[in-house]
Amino acid sequence: MVRQVSFGLLWLSFGIYAFGFAPPEAGNTSELIQDLIAGKWQQINPVVVALFNLMGVLPAMYAAILFADGKGQKVPASWFVLLSFGIGAFGLLPYFALRQPNPTFDGTKNFWIRFWDSRLTGLGLTAIAITLLIYGLKTGDFGANWADYVVQFRTNRFIHVMTLDFGLLCLLFSWILADDMRRRGLTESGIFQAVTLVPLLGVLVYLCVRPNLPEPLTQS
């Protein structure tokens, strides 16, 4: 019950802050989002471009864990994962409040569980994330880009909330990582600490090297 209430309060508090206390919405936000989606990045700060696209990678990283986790839950994880592609942590926090600990897997894999369980999927997500990080850090003048980003973070609600959303999504992995490790027979606490201490990249490496979920036992 404490866990459910905590995640519910976090969801409510984040929503109240995002729409009630964050910096005001900039007048060009709709145009900015349209350009980001359309790939018209020439006039946009590369840090913002990288952050916006990483907000699409993070839900996919969650999908690589939650599709298996949701199989043993009363509520399907897939709907919350789909919501997270559009609204980030706002879509996942209700699932965290409703889910129960699930350290086992029955071995039955559908197409989506097999897809998200694949190491190739982990490698693909890692390649995309690293490419975006390099783009954000290496394109243009590093100092000027970050100075501009800080200004936008302080004055633009979209950039401000997206940044906080990114940080929250990075932190929330720790709440589902332990169960995913147990489903795969990983019990070393050092693995958990190494993955959680390195935001984003730690989980990406984990998705690339973790053992596959167990297959159902066949009878001879």
Instruction: State both tokens at 72.
Output: 């043993």
pLDDT at 148: 96
The answer to whether the beta carbons of residues 126 and 205 sit under 8 Å apart is yes
CB atoms within 10 A of CB 200: 19
- Reported as a single tens digit per residue, the pLDDT across 30-76 is 999 999 999 999 999 999 999 999 999 999 999 999 999 998 788 88
Tens-place pLDDT, residues 154-192? 999 999 999 999 999 999 999 999 999 999 999 888 999
Candidates 77, 86, 136; CA nearest to 112 is: 77
CB burial of residue 214 (10 Å; 0-12, 13-18, 19+): middle
pLDDT at 207 over 90: yes
158 vs 33: CA distance, rounded Å: 9
Q: For position 218, what pLDDT does the model report?
A: 54
**What percent of the chain has pLDDT above 70?**
98
DSSP letter, residue 107: S
Give the integer Cα–Cα distance in Å for 186 and 207. 13
First-residue to last-residue Cα distance in the chain: 44
Look at residue 220 in the predicted model and tell me its pLDDT: 43
Residue closest to 203 by CA, chosen among 65, 50, 89: 65
Of 181, 187, 200, 189, the residue nearest 101 (C-alpha): 181
Average pLDDT on 192-209 reads 94
Q: State how far the Cα of 220 lies from the Cα of 217, in Å rounded to an integer.
A: 10
pTM of the predicted model, to two decimals? Answer: 0.93
Measured in whole angstroms, how far is the alpha carbon of residue 62 from the centre of its chain?
Answer: 5
Asked if 49 and 161 count as a contact pair (C-beta separation under 8 A), the reply is no
Local confidence band at 28 (pLDDT 50, 70, 90 cut-offs) = confident
* CA dihedral of 193, 194, 199, 200, whole degrees rounded to 10: -120
Residue 3 confidence (pLDDT): 83
The model's pLDDT over 98-147, given as tens digits with 9 standing for 90+, comes to 999 989 988 789 999 999 999 999 999 999 999 999 999 999 999 999 99
